[in-house]
A and B are shown apart, each in its own frame.
Chain A
Amino acid sequence: MNTQYTRRIFILLLLAFLCFGAVVLSISTGASKISVREIISTFFSDGHTLNYQIIRNIRLPRTLVAMLAGLSLAVSGAILQGVMRNPLASPNIIGVSSGAGVMAVFIMIVLPDYFYLITPGAFIGAMLTTILIYFLSWQNGIRPLRMILAGVAVSSFFSAIISGLMIFYPDRVHGVIDFMVGGLAASTWRDVEMIWPYALGCFAVVNLLANKLNIMLLGDETAVSLGLRVEILRMIFIAIAALLAASSVSVVGLLGFVGLIVPHIARIIAGSDYRVLFPASALLGMLLLTLCDTLARVVLSPADLPVGIIMALLGAPFFLYLLRKGLQGHAA
């Protein structure tokens, strides 16, 4: 009991430490290298140096967006995998990606003059799609499987609209592809402001509800018999997952993959008790997205790759490796 507790604390501290390292690395890496000492001295400088301008206006917002989006997508995925009791659940399942995508692409292609509406439009599109899927799958309550199937159907429908728009306006697809892959290149303080209230607010609430989600893992009947209001809780959890994912996706593009694999990696490392899994997923999401974005900047420097590409290219094999190792550990 106590050793388990110590182990969990140790894992979380280790992840937090790595996360901090990744943040420092991310701020120091880029077209112009800035050493750790320079970073520290920059923070105490009067703000007129070039390094200060780079860190303050370019690196810091980008790193913060990476951290917040990593946290949001990972925690959103962790929630959905629990609520749906399905390991394949991710923010895509509740239509966040397709809803954000269809709105963003529509604005980019049909109303390019209103580009500043992309972020709020994508957010609204994501939330409306989640609500649509929720009601489509409602029948004397929500059955997770029915919601997943409805999500797949609605997502395919919206994907078709996106493809259609791209085919009719082939000259305007450039920005669209960036959005579909997901990238942090143009992150600004406004993006940080868009994400942080949702990310931190939802994360706080979700940690308070962690033990309820543990009990929901036992199945609806058992959860009801333990006095949980399963239907209301499920709605709350889905709403939180949607807010987290929608705020991120509307800023960084369709990085849904983060929400699929990070919770699994966190589960292999920290176990499936949500009281640990939530903070572990959050830290791991921040860590991975920050690291991958740093890599995306240097791999083909000076070109700046969309982080989604790096995330999938490195994340998928790493995930498969952990999965095999984790499974062997399980059998032993």
Chain B
Amino acid sequence: MLHSDKVTFGYKNFKIIRDISLTIERSKIYAIIGPNGSGKSTLLKNLARILHPQSGVVSLDTIPFNKIPVNEFAKKIAILSQIHNVPEDFTARDLISFGRYPHLGWFGRLAKEDDEIVDWAVHVMRIGYFQHRNITVLSGGERQRVWIAMALAQKTAMLLLDEPTTFLDIAHQFEILELIRKLNKNFNLGIVMVLHDLNQAARYAERIIVIKDGLLYREGTPDEIITEQTLGDVFRMRVRIVRDEMHHCPYFIPMESLD
């Protein structure tokens, strides 16, 4: 269980997020949504220990983050950043192997068991046919699968993702989201992801966290969140909500901007 208690983060006098208290269960899919600049990525990075709160505490299973050694933490929570540096000539498999890093000894040699876990990640993310290719020649969707596979190789209980679908075309967006859901259902991997597309959040997340102006606006199920009133309040949009009977989730149709 991931828990944030009155987390505030910002620079000097400017607070990006304020007093956010949340409890995130380990085995569900959470989506964080909010307008541009609302602080949703900042919240995710505080939950992933990439940023450290100015005030407030984030804890994992009631142990505050700063009591968990960095290396131990990397075995419990993995985060997929939005922007990666791509080294020139590493293969997909090289990158995925880096996911084993927190589990390795001082000399950093992969044992047989590590190789098997990398094999497993390659298999789950369906990377087999291009695992020995250079990362720079892969398409955006293939690359994203490699990064997720790297996080999988960390063998954590939770995976946090910062806009995992943003730079992808629509088919690859759904491919990634389907894979993420599969990871959650098959391996009980807890998911927290920042998503831009509200309909994707409604369909793939079990819980949605709404951030507005750095504050927690609301947290709830897609049916509780994807409403005319919430979307009007938070995104300044007049919308119509219909029901996607096939996937049993709400679906919104944008009508006009309220500004």
**Given the known A-B contacts A224-B50, A226-B99, A226-B102, are A218 and B87 also in contact in the complex, defined by CB atoms under 8 Å?**
yes
A221–B87 CB distance below 8 A? no
Q: Which residue of the partner chain A has the closest CB to B73? A: A227
B85–A227 CB distance below 8 A? no
Please give, as numbers and ranges, the residues of chain A lying within 8 Å of B248 by CB-CB distance.
Answer: none
From residue 31 to 85 of chain B, which have CB atoms closer than 8 A to chain A? 45, 48-50, 70-75, 77-79, 81, 83-85
Interface-lining segment among A107-115, A253-261, A266-274, A288-296: A266-274
Q: Which residue of the partner chain A has the closest CB to B103? A: A227
In the complex, the number of residue pairs spanning A and B with C-beta atoms less than 8 Å apart equals 69
From residue 54 to 91 of chain A, which have CB atoms closer than 8 A to chain B? 85
Please give, as numbers and ranges, the residues of chain A lying within 8 Å of B98 by CB-CB distance.
Answer: 214-215, 218, 226
From residue 183 to 227 of chain A, which have CB atoms closer than 8 A to chain B? 208, 211-212, 214-215, 217-219, 221-222, 224-227
Please give, as numbers and ranges, the residues of chain A lying within 8 Å of B87 by CB-CB distance.
Answer: 214, 217-218, 272
A215–B101 CB distance below 8 A? yes
B84–A225 CB distance below 8 A? no
**CA of A214 to CA of B72 in the docked complex: distance in angstroms?**
20
A225–B79 CB distance below 8 A? yes
**CA of A224 to CA of B101 in the docked complex: distance in angstroms?**
11
Please give, as numbers and ranges, the residues of chain B lying within 8 Å of A174 by CB-CB distance.
Answer: none
A225–B85 CB distance below 8 A? no
Contact of B88 among A208, A212, A267 (CB under 8 A): A267
Q: Which residue of the partner chain A has the closest CB to B94? A: A273
Please give, as numbers and ranges, the residues of chain B lying within 8 Å of A219 by CB-CB distance.
Answer: 81, 83-85
**CA of A226 to CA of B84 in the docked complex: distance in angstroms?**
13
- Does B233 lie at the interface of the complex (its beta carbon under 8 Å from any beta carbon of A)? no
Please give, as numbers and ranges, the residues of chain B lying within 8 Å of A229 by CB-CB distance.
Answer: 70
A225–B78 CB distance below 8 A? yes
B85–A226 CB distance below 8 A? no
- Does B140 lie at the interface of the complex (its beta carbon under 8 Å from any beta carbon of A)? no
A272–B90 CB distance below 8 A? yes
Please give, as numbers and ranges, the residues of chain B lying within 8 Å of A211 by CB-CB distance.
Answer: 101, 108
Please give, as numbers and ranges, the residues of chain B lying within 8 Å of A221 by CB-CB distance.
Answer: 45, 50, 79, 81, 83
B89–A227 CB distance below 8 A? no
Please give, as numbers and ranges, the residues of chain A lying within 8 Å of B99 by CB-CB distance.
Answer: 226
Output the least CB separation between B191 and chain A (Å). 15
- Does B154 lie at the interface of the complex (its beta carbon under 8 Å from any beta carbon of A)? yes
Please give, as numbers and ranges, the residues of chain B lying within 8 Å of A267 by CB-CB distance.
Answer: 88
Residue ranges of A at the interface with B (Cβ–Cβ < 8 Å): 1, 85, 140, 208, 211-212, 214-215, 217-219, 221-222, 224-229, 267, 271-273
Residue ranges of B at the interface with A (Cβ–Cβ < 8 Å): 11, 45, 48-50, 70-75, 77-79, 81, 83-85, 87-90, 93-95, 98-99, 101-102, 107-108, 132, 151, 154
Provide 8 A-B residue pairs closer than 8 Å at the C-beta atoms, listed in order of the A residue: A140-B11, A214-B87, A217-B87, A219-B85, A224-B49, A226-B102, A226-B154, A229-B70
Known: A85-B85, A228-B101, A273-B90. 6 other contacts (CB 8 A): A211-B108, A215-B101, A218-B85, A219-B84, A221-B81, A226-B154
The 6 closest A-B pairs by CB, nearest first: A227-B74, A227-B102, A221-B81, A227-B71, A219-B85, A211-B108
